[in-house]
Structure 1
Amino acid sequence: MTSRFAQLAFTPGVQRHQREHGSARAYRPLLDGPVVADRLGEAEREFVHERDSFYLASVGETGWPYVQHRGGPPGFLKALDDRTLGFADFRGNRQYITLGNLDHENRVALFLMDYAHQVRMKIMGRARATGDPALLAELTVPHYRAKVERAVLIEVEAFDWNCRQHIPRLVPLDAVERTVASLQERIAELERQNAELRAAR
């Protein structure tokens, strides 16, 4: 966990519970770190680029949180630099809840999952939507048929890598299908060789 993530997440109420449950001492050094935004390193940027989906949380005018799933081809979420993420906002159900929430409050949280390797990354930042043509061109995914309505930029404030405890190990369907196809080809080849050996007896 970074110091900046702890500074944002560990509110006075959170710290009270940490004291009551015995974890405050372990986390205290993080709170004393510099009050500067995190920068995405190579590992973080690579992890971002490999994702084909993520969860985006925003807060509405009534104070209720809203979590939205965003998906696309791997790499549709891009690290534009060490402080900025961006993605093409594809047309969905046209409820525009996140978009409306951003008009009121630009603070967001992202949850990026890699179920196959049991890895998760949390990001806090400030988001804004834009129709800037240059950004739309940079973030549009070639050959992906979804309609792009706008670009969304997220200025990263903090991130945290979580432990793998309790993450179910799930494998993408296309990876399973590739493995099964390869095994079926191998089985067919072995059956052919077996038939040839029997015929040669």
Structure 2
Amino acid sequence: MSEDALTPVDVRDCYGEPSVLARDKVMPRLDGHARAFIARSPFVVLGTADADGRQDVSPRGDPPGFVRVLGERTLALPDRPGNRRIDSLANVASQPNVALLFIVPGFDDTLRVNGRARISRDPDLLASLAVDGKPALSALVVEVEEVFMHCAKAFIRSRLWKPDAQQNRREFPSLGRIIADQVAGVDAAAADVAIDENYRTELY
């Protein structure tokens, strides 16, 4: 640890105490507002860590309401075909603590849910999470421990949803080009073709 590294006490001293509103808004269950937010959300960021504390963050998206609320303290997050790295699932298999950040397009507020997850292969659950007739490959069943709304400051500062803040993707290298620059022996054009084909045929 460097000499200028701050301890938890140092950090608290720098920032002071949270307001009563910020401190007391945390709930141990999914109330009506949290359920309604999740039902609107087509996108969630999943945070996990392995047994040694190495962390990973993964985006997950589907039609709004794809995360299924099973009860006031339980929800299910479907897993779809991907790159088979299974970073998040491998982490949960060894260390169950997870964090979820739900985002709704056009909303500056977000919803945070923290809890403990397990991987389910229950056929009935996976079928209930189907899209286009294709069941989920597995599901993370999360036992909820903390739920709270997160304020809008980050989205206001970033102007994320503002039309004039949108950037032209063509001004940045394609994913295939980036991978080719980072991995020896990869052909950028072929990689772009393969990525596009995967997007068209293997979303579900």
Q: TM-score band, normalised by the shorter chain?
A: 0.5 to 0.7
Amino acid at match of 2:100: L
- Aligned pairs, number: 154
Larger Rg: 1
Q: Considering only aligned residues, what root-mean-square deviation do their CA atoms show, in Å? A: 2.8
> 1:177 matched to which residue of 2?
none
C-alpha distance in structure 1 between counterparts of 2:143 and 2:90, whole Å? 18
Identical residues among aligned pairs (%): 29
C-alpha distance in structure 1 between counterparts of 2:154 and 2:85, whole Å? 32
1:42 lines up with 2:32 in the alignment: yes
- The alpha-carbon distance between structure 1 residues 113 and 144, as it changes in their structure 2 partners (threshold 3 A), is farther
Q: Tell me how far 1:30 sits from its aligned partner.
A: 4.3
Amino acid at match of 2:16: G
1:156 lines up with 2:147 in the alignment: no
Gaps of 5+ in 2: 1-6, 164-204
Dislocated runs of 4+, deviation >3 Å: 13-16, 26-31
> Does structure 2 retain, via aligned residues, the 8 Å contact 1:123–1:160?
yes
The alignment partner of 1:102 has SS state of helix
> 1:110 matched to which residue of 2?
100
> 1:170 matched to which residue of 2?
161
* CA deviation vs aligned residue, 1:53-111 (integer Å, no higher than 9, x gap): 11000002332110001111111111111111112211111101111101110000001
> 1:51 matched to which residue of 2?
41
> Does structure 2 retain, via aligned residues, the 8 Å contact 1:73–1:144?
no
> 1:9 matched to which residue of 2?
none
C-alpha distance in structure 2 between counterparts of 1:44 and 1:22, whole Å? 28
Amino acid at match of 2:161: L
1:140 lines up with 2:130 in the alignment: yes
C-alpha distance in structure 1 between counterparts of 2:107 and 2:52, whole Å? 37
Gaps of 5+ in 1: 1-12, 173-201
1:93 lines up with 2:74 in the alignment: no
> 2:115 matched to which residue of 1?
125
C-alpha distance in structure 1 between counterparts of 2:21 and 2:32, whole Å? 27
Q: Tell me how far 1:17 sits from its aligned partner.
A: 2.1
C-alpha distance in structure 2 between counterparts of 1:28 and 1:53, whole Å? 26
C-alpha distance in structure 2 between counterparts of 1:171 and 1:79, whole Å? 30
> 1:188 matched to which residue of 2?
none
**TM-score (ref. length: structure 2):** 0.66
**TM-score (ref. length: structure 1):** 0.67
The alignment partner of 1:88 has SS state of strand
> 1:18 matched to which residue of 2?
12
